[in-house]
Structure 1
Amino acid sequence: MSLDPHTSADGVPEVSVLIRAHSRPQGLAAAIGSALGQTYGDLEVVVSDDSGELGPVAAGFDDRRVLYHRNLAPAGPAANLRHAAGRARGRLLAMLSDDDRWLPTFLETTVGHLQRDPALGVVFTDDLLELSGRRIHHRLPYAPGRHDRFLPQILDHSIPASASVMRRVVWEEGERSTPLRDEMVGDLTTWLRAASAGRSFYYVPEPLAITRVHRGQISWSEETLPARIVDTLDAFRFDDPVCEELRLARVSEFLFARAGVNLRRRDFAAARSDIARARGKAPRRPGIRALLAFAGLRGTAMRWGAAHPRVMGPALSLWRRIRPPVLP
């Protein structure tokens, strides 16, 4: 495996790192630095900037592998991902959020598996959750190695956005089958498309990425994410009855979450509508997950964990043991 960033015979980088940027200059600098600091160097870093203010950060690296584009108007994270992917030249694509980072061997490890096994579509690793400077290993509940049928796992648990590498063809096929719309979740859409198309996933049970967790991010996700997940899941239908039941259960769960958001906003009509729709979508009687989603306890727990990082690790270990199933 070549470590020289200029060794591709055709001048096309093997990997395009897709960074969706928005108003976080320090985070962006750290993300770009972690990409350029990889032990695998045949890459380009595509920065798609929704703020229009981060050009000096990209230019400060003085590295021709860093490609910066200023979007004329912000259209949200899904559109920004499309913009970045549309400018990428690499045969492999890797998403990296502008406040996340990679450890130095992330690409060497993931790209190595893709090069050794041409049948793989996506390779992903564990990540470290960074809360107030403290890092916690986020262990995923999967068997190590290759998974040829991975749709149930994506519907049940998914994978970290900044800890995966996919083949370009996985993205391109997905855009043809289920185009990523502005109101959808970019990474979840990508994994659902790949898994439903029968693409093989490979899991490396080693934390090679760092996902930063902070209060502002949690509040934003709690307010906007349920609606975007509902829109994402509504774009799919699965022939496999178990997967379709999981999809409907997830739609119901996040409709309950959106109902809770609307209730806390005192939009009672919208909350009632979401509850009615959640009950109608649920393939089984809603259980404890619906209650937790409606109450917004995940966001509350993450905010508390961000303020008390020392206890977050044991809390995550406990949650892995008692986590209610998606299908009660």
Structure 2
Amino acid sequence: MNDQLVSIITPAYKAAAYVGETIESVLAQTYPHWEMLIANDCSPDNTAEVVQAYCQRDPRIRLINMPQNGGPAAARNGAIAQAQGRWLAFLDSDDLWLPTKLQDSLTHAHATQAAIVYTAFRRISADGAQVGKPVTVPASLSYHQLLGNTAIATSTVLVDCSKSGPVVMRKTYYDDFDCWLQILKRGNMAHGLNKDLMRYRVLGQSVSRNKKKSALHVWRAYRDLEKLNVIQSAWYFLQYAMRGLLKYRKF
């Protein structure tokens, strides 16, 4: 692993409308030692062409064309498999970073010796015209604390692979949430940086906005993946739901 290099993991599907802005936010980073691995999950639009144009502009950007459509977990794993850095940063193809995101996250990771660092952020509307209030984060999270928390937004995450152990996305509805749980279950801690460094784009068709469906999949994660009993699942689910309601009570 290259100790200075940050490997940015970006799954992309039907991302042509927004992925250019996402890449531009990476190009604007104050920290220069990165590679951006964009896994095109067999997009039917011109996602590959948009990304390829940026690859020609900057060799740090790499396009990975997945052999078949496998969803976000498979795309992320495809990019992770080719990552060369000690650090894995996750950035979805419609989200944006502020310019000091990588630098500030790395500084916090070194200061806390954390396996996972996550940051505060704001939501934006699909066209970027509306910017929401800051979504703040707790100072730290253990495995048990994360079970009942919605604090870690994927596009804010930085993982130190020298501490985390294997970083693998399992094929499940919340593959990212599941991955952070697996890392923390090994005894690691996640540390939050309460600084607004990411813009999460809210799209009308986003599956995560279907709260009933999302709640069902969180419950299944407790029962099927984490093997919690009904009482434990109910306890963590209540905390998760309450924090989610507070987090999304207004834009």
Aligned residues: 241
User: Match for 1:166 among 124, 148, 159?
Assistant: 159
How far residue 200 of structure 1 moved from its aligned partner, in angstroms, is 2.0
1:12·1:89 contact (CA, 8 Å) conserved in 2?
A: no
Whose radius of gyration is greater, 1 or 2? Answer: 1
State TM-score, norm by structure 1: 0.64
Give the helix-richer structure, 1 or 2. 1
Runs of at least 5 residues in structure 2 that lack an aligned partner in the other structure: none
2:50 corresponding residue in structure 1: 57
1:316 corresponding residue in structure 2: 250
2:116·2:164 contact (CA, 8 Å) conserved in 1?
A: no
**Gap change, CA 1:81 and 1:245, over 3 Å in 2:** farther
2:117·2:190 contact (CA, 8 Å) conserved in 1?
A: yes
How far residue 58 of structure 1 moved from its aligned partner, in angstroms, is 1.6
2:8·2:37 contact (CA, 8 Å) conserved in 1?
A: yes
Give the strand-richer structure, 1 or 2. 2
The one-letter amino acid paired with 1:192 is: L
**Using the alignment, how far apart are the partners of 1:106 and 1:194 within structure 2?**
22
Structure with more relative contact order (C-alpha pairs < 8 Å, separation 6 or more):
2
How far residue 55 of structure 1 moved from its aligned partner, in angstroms, is 2.1
Q: Deviations over 1:200-257 (max 9, x none)?
A: 222111110000012111577558645543443321247xx9xx95544456999xxx
1:194 aligns with 2:128: no
State TM-score, norm by structure 2: 0.82
How far residue 64 of structure 1 moved from its aligned partner, in angstroms, is 0.4
1:134 corresponding residue in structure 2: 130
Structure 1 residues 1-328: aligned runs within 5 Å: 14-52=5-43, 53-61=46-54, 62-117=57-112, 119-131=113-125, 133-140=129-136, 142=138, 144=139, 147=140, 150-158=142-150, 159-169=152-162, 172-175=165-168, 180-218=169-207, 221-222=210-211, 225-226=214-215, 228-233=217-222, 234-237=224-227, 245-250=231-236, 315-316=249-250
How far residue 137 of structure 1 moved from its aligned partner, in angstroms, is 2.6
**Using the alignment, how far apart are the partners of 1:174 and 1:218 within structure 2?**
24
Runs of at least 5 residues in structure 1 that lack an aligned partner in the other structure: 1-9, 255-288, 303-311, 318-328
2:143·2:185 contact (CA, 8 Å) conserved in 1?
A: yes
